[in-house]
Chains A and B, each alone.
Chain A
């Protein structure tokens, strides 16, 4: 593997004497996108600002392209080679073109070259027709496009993105996500994206790092983090909405039986007998049928009662009481076919492989 673009070790940040961030080590690979996901207050923004050299850490050493950033001038020089896009577009009160030009001016890029680069960046984000408009008159989506273009035009070595989509409505957000993804891949820009939306993270990033209380609790390729969360926090956060505590009653052949609230569920894994574990079930892996339903290949099939139906965009989330709590995503059509309403009797089934076993130690 090549030398990481940025390598950070022993990073801690204090606020008011209290430690708010502790990152033993973090590496950014060239051309890769890392997503920091976690709830508000988990330290994502603080980490980004510290990595972008906009905030002083209490401790920590930085290696940029293999060279240490020890002195203040070295860190300032590094700061000029990276850039950050904030949650708010933070555009200057002038035209869009002058906003895009701002960083280039500060970097001392001559006028004619500035024009060309501004035009190219505006084209990448589809805001060429807006260049002569006043920045303050743009819509939320347009303003965030301008903000992204203003960062991209600098061709930064590392781009830090702090929840740039969180204030946008879904269609605007999706279009912008597509354009940003394409721009990142085409320019092979190394980037760190903070978000609390795992879909956004999975769409843009090569790797995910889940943050909780100022620490990275798990990092790895997106698939791995989503499907193999290391603890209950990660599991709940990455959208495994139902996490059930249980106790192992039998194991063998790579399978195990777990007693959960008087029911026995089959899962894949080899925990110890009698061990307390958590079982994660993602709503998209749960199938509903009228009770008593046709036989399925699913090892886990439980009768239950509908307790609540919540619209979730194109789906409905149906919550069931099967002795334990479980949720399923259902299309509006199935909802009608199954005649589901609070109180209806249904059966929920899911495969043993759909259950994610989390050992709690």
Chain B
């Protein structure tokens, strides 16, 4: 118990004094995960919608692959992204291994199937004739997609939350492709792992608490967007 109490006190102290390093790590974590979630929303959201609205041979197999991807272990993603970005790997010329870009790339790979899978289900659960109804009210194809997304906004926002939750909390990929370099690629999770392994439990607890507060804050904002103009 003493350990946790010490940790909470330390966390409050670090926050209260606006410790520049902790603040830096927190903002960096937020930036990386928000960017990765945004990219995943664009790619995964489009893929999920396209998949929900088209028919082609092998569609079920592809859906099964995406659904499997929703549980992709971050260390596996970390391994493959590392190989891809390795100096003489296929994308080695980009020279982004151990940079923030590598973390964003890896996190996008993690979140995209999550968002694609949930978006797919979100669009599929709408009545089949709804898109014809929207077209029949005079919508173009693009307008139809926008109105469908609007109708599915509750589950689509849930997809965004699940995607964000997946990347802000993962540690395996970030540490493998980012390297936990101080002031460059250190995020809250990798810092927590490091402090724990060094035996600095109070700092580790402080970082964990900050991570949870950050996750809660982001989800509170997303929930507000999701639930607005919904009467009780």
21 contacts between A and B (CB under 8 A): A52-B136, A54-B136, A79-B135, A83-B136, A83-B138, A84-B133, A86-B129, A86-B132, A90-B127, A90-B129, A90-B133, A92-B150, A93-B151, A102-B137, A102-B147, A103-B138, A106-B138, A134-B231, A150-B137, A154-B137, A154-B138
Q: Within residues 129 to 147 of chain B, which ones have a CB less than 8 A from any CB in chain A?
A: 129-130, 132-133, 135-140, 143, 147
User: Looking at the complex, which one of B136, B151, B231 makes contact with A92 (CB distance below 8 Å)?
Assistant: B151
- Interface assignment of A49: CB less than 8 Å from any CB of chain B: yes
- Interface assignment of B229: CB less than 8 Å from any CB of chain A: yes
Q: Within residues 147 to 174 of chain A, which ones have a CB less than 8 A from any CB in chain B?
A: 150-151, 154, 160
C-alpha spacing A77/B129, complex, angstroms: 20
- Interface assignment of A299: CB less than 8 Å from any CB of chain B: no
- Interface assignment of A80: CB less than 8 Å from any CB of chain B: yes
Q: Within residues 1 to 27 of chain B, which ones have a CB less than 8 A from any CB in chain A?
A: none
Q: Interface size of A by Cβ–Cβ distance < 8 Å?
A: 25
- Interface assignment of A88: CB less than 8 Å from any CB of chain B: yes
- Interface assignment of A94: CB less than 8 Å from any CB of chain B: yes
Tell me the smallest distance from the CB of A156 to a CB of chain B, in Å. 9
Q: In chain A, what residue has the closest Cβ to B229?
A: A94
Q: In chain B, what residue has the closest Cβ to A108?
A: B138
- Interface assignment of A107: CB less than 8 Å from any CB of chain B: yes
Using a CB–CB distance below 8 Å, which chain A residues touch chain B? 49, 52, 54-55, 76, 79-80, 82-84, 86, 88, 90, 92-94, 102-103, 106-107, 134, 150-151, 154, 160
Using a CB–CB distance below 8 Å, which chain B residues touch chain A? 127, 129-130, 132-133, 135-140, 143, 147, 150-151, 229, 231
A88 and B136 contact, Cβ closer than 8 Å, known pairs A93-B151, A94-B229: no
C-alpha spacing A94/B147, complex, angstroms: 12
A54 and B132 contact, Cβ closer than 8 Å, known pairs A92-B151, A93-B151, A154-B137: yes
Chain B residues, CB < 8 A from A88: 127, 129
C-alpha spacing A151/B137, complex, angstroms: 7
Chain B residues, CB < 8 A from A84: 132-133, 136
C-alpha spacing A88/B151, complex, angstroms: 16
- The answer to whether A90 touches B138 (Cβ under 8 A) is no
Tell me the smallest distance from the CB of A108 to a CB of chain B, in Å. 9
- The answer to whether B229 touches A107 (Cβ under 8 A) is no
C-alpha spacing A52/B133, complex, angstroms: 11
Tell me the smallest distance from the CB of B229 to a CB of chain A, in Å. 7
- The answer to whether A80 touches B129 (Cβ under 8 A) is no
Chain A residues, CB < 8 A from B130: 90
- The answer to whether A54 touches B135 (Cβ under 8 A) is yes
A92 and B147 contact, Cβ closer than 8 Å, known pairs A49-B132, A103-B137, A154-B137: yes
C-alpha spacing A49/B132, complex, angstroms: 9
C-alpha spacing A83/B135, complex, angstroms: 9
Chain B residues, CB < 8 A from A90: 127, 129-130, 133
- The answer to whether A80 touches B133 (Cβ under 8 A) is no
C-alpha spacing A86/B131, complex, angstroms: 12
Given pairs A88-B127, A103-B138, 6 additional interface contacts (CB within 8 A): A55-B132, A83-B138, A90-B133, A106-B139, A150-B137, A151-B137
C-alpha spacing A88/B129, complex, angstroms: 9
Tell me the smallest distance from the CB of A236 to a CB of chain B, in Å. 30
Q: In chain B, what residue has the closest Cβ to A103?
A: B137
Chain B residues, CB < 8 A from A52: 136
Query: Top 7 closest A-B pairs, CB basis?
Result: A103-B137, A106-B138, A84-B136, A90-B133, A54-B132, A80-B138, A107-B138
Chain A residues, CB < 8 A from B138: 79-80, 83, 103, 106-107, 154
Chain A residues, CB < 8 A from B139: 106
Chain A residues, CB < 8 A from B147: 92, 102
C-alpha spacing A80/B135, complex, angstroms: 8
Tell me the smallest distance from the CB of A254 to a CB of chain B, in Å. 51
Chain B residues, CB < 8 A from A80: 138
Task: Select the residue from B127, B133, B137, B229 with max chain A CB neighbours within 10 A.
Answer: B137
Chain B residues, CB < 8 A from A86: 129, 132-133
Tell me the smallest distance from the CB of A71 to a CB of chain B, in Å. 16
Chain A residues, CB < 8 A from B127: 88, 90
Chain B residues, CB < 8 A from A151: 137
Chain B residues, CB < 8 A from A79: 135-136, 138
Tell me the smallest distance from the CB of A172 to a CB of chain B, in Å. 21
